[in-house]
Amino acid sequence: MTIALLLAGCSRTDPQAAGPRNNAASGPALPTKNVRLIPADERALARTATAPGTLAADEQAALSFKVTGRLNTLSVDLGSIVKKGQTIAQLDPRDFKMRMDQAEAGLQQARVRLGLPPQGEDDHIVAENTALVKQAHAVLEEARLNRERSARLVKEGVQPQADLDRTDSAYKVADSRYQDAMEEVRNRQAVLVQRRSELALARQQLADTTLYAPFDGSVRERRASMGEYLAVGTPVATIVRVHPLRLRVELPEREARGVRAGLPVRVTVEGDTNVYPGRVVRLSPAFQEQSRTLVIEAEVDNQQGKLRPGSFAKAEIQTTTTTGVVTVPTSALVTFAGIQKVFTVKDNKAVERPVVTGQREEDWVEITEGLKAGEMVVAMPGNLVTGQPVSIEK
């Protein structure tokens, strides 16, 4: 208690001791720092909408045979690159070749019955020119002449009426046989058409024993083995088209207003620093009511084959271009405790200016609030603080 009274007495009786202590509490003077000022730039800025999505194959097909048979060859495996029209697999063709030979023999037989040569593609005939009809027509003509002769002789009283009746009956029989001959020729023509169709079907079935790639792509899955007996429609392999790829994203309503078909798209995937170009090709006609998003599909260039279907990707779609946007270099922006600011100079002292930022690029950042175009800011403030004296570099 005595020490406390002495200290109190000293503070009252020695006013000179208080002065130096107060000066020390105020801290040392801040050093002058050399700074370079640059103006806030004004530029046209492309607005982009960003959304995650998944890359998918533009086309995918599970290949199978249209006919039943035993798998004879399979020339692809997982990951094989195929071209459109390339042979993928083949069934044993021997049974189908025999069926085709049988159909060809039946066609030749049908052509010969109509008086055509065995080989040929022209199946047109004139029924009256066939041997069957000519024979029936000759018999009919003879019967007609006999009837006319009998009718004349009966009229002259040379022959009895019974002879006329007999020749008239023979004429009617010959006419019926002529009509039968014409119908037989038409029936043979129909058989010829049927045999021609059977041959075409046999040839098609023989062709269907070979399976071809419907488009350029890669084998995603091999689903059959050599020697396996395959029914119609049994999957043999799955092929996917890897160029271009399809990217499906969902954009929020506020960002999707300016999106339209044909806009460029920048696509990035995790673990890859490359940016892949694409374009918007399809848009949903309506927003999804629950999520208030718009479904958009883009085609992504993948000629080099570096992207894979199923990968997670991020799309940046340029929607609009805005002019008069205020920007500063990234180095001029200072972030502390979540507050973003730039420094200006007034009366040769640093003055911090809180700002609100927008779109960012590697070298610059957009300032939406707190700064006007043309205002001078410190290019590289570093640890500069408000009120610190500065010397402006010329």
For the chain (length 394 residues), average pLDDT per consecutive 10?
Answer: 39 40 51 90 78 88 95 93 94 96 95 91 88 93 93 88 91 94 93 95 96 93 93 94 89 80 88 88 87 89 86 84 81 89 92 88 86 90 89 84
| Residue carrying structure tokens 């009837």 | 147
Mark which of 321, 346, 364 sits at the end of a domain: 321
Mark which of 321, 343, 360 sits at the end of a domain: 321
C-alpha to C-alpha distance for 36 and 105, rounded to whole angstroms: 98
Q: Give the per-residue pLDDT at 334.
A: 92
Nearest to 181 by CA among 227, 131, 143, 109: 131
Q: 251 and 308 in one domain?
A: yes
Asked, for residue 144, whether it belongs to a domain, the answer is yes
Q: 275 and 177 in one domain?
A: no
Residue 369 maps to which CATH number?
A: 2.40.420.20
Q: 223 and 280 in one domain?
A: no
Q: 249 and 119 in one domain?
A: no
Number of domains within the chain? 4
Asked, for residue 106, whether it belongs to a domain, the answer is yes
Q: 190 and 102 in one domain?
A: yes
C-alpha to C-alpha distance for 10 and 2, rounded to whole angstroms: 12
Q: 299 and 361 in one domain?
A: no
Residue 293 maps to which CATH number?
A: 2.40.30.170
Q: Give the per-residue pLDDT at 305.
A: 82
State which residues form the domain around 110: 94-207
Q: Give the per-residue pLDDT at 322.
A: 67
Asked, for residue 8, whether it belongs to a domain, the answer is no
Asked, for residue 6, whether it belongs to a domain, the answer is no
Q: 135 and 85 in one domain?
A: no
Q: 308 and 224 in one domain?
A: no
Q: 112 and 69 in one domain?
A: no
Residue 86 maps to which CATH number?
A: 2.40.50.100
C-alpha to C-alpha distance for 379 and 16, rounded to whole angstroms: 45
Mark which of 321, 345, 375 sits at the end of a domain: 321
Q: 186 and 106 in one domain?
A: yes
Residue 264 buriedness (CB in 10 A; 0-12 / 13-18 / 19+) = middle
Three-state secondary structure string covering the chain: CHHHHHHHHHHHHCHHHHHHHHHHHCCCCCCCEEECEEECEEEEEEEEEEEEEEEEECCEEEEECCCCEEEEEECCCCCCEECCCCEEEEECCHHHHHHHHHHHHHHHHHHHHCCCCCCCCCCCCCHHHCHHHHHHHHHHHHHHHHHHHHHHHHHHCCCCHHHHHHHHHHHHHHHHHHHHHHHHHHHHHHHHHHHHHHHHHHHHHHHCCEEECCCCEEEEEECCCCCCEECCCCEEEEEECCCCEEEEEEEEHHHHCCCCCCCEEEEEECCCCCCEEEEEEEECCCCECCCCEEEEEEEECCCCCCCCCCCEEEEEEEEEEEEEEEEEEHHHCEEECCEEEEEEEECCEEEEEECEEEEECCCEEEEEECCCCCCEEECCCCCCCCCCEEEECC
Asked, for residue 167, whether it belongs to a domain, the answer is yes
Q: 286 and 350 in one domain?
A: no
Q: Give the per-residue pLDDT at 66.
A: 95
Asked, for residue 1, whether it belongs to a domain, the answer is no
Q: 98 and 70 in one domain?
A: no
Rounded (10°) angle between helices 161-207 and 94-113: 160
Q: Give the per-residue pLDDT at 5.
A: 36
Asked, for residue 374, whether it belongs to a domain, the answer is yes
Asked, for residue 24, whether it belongs to a domain, the answer is no
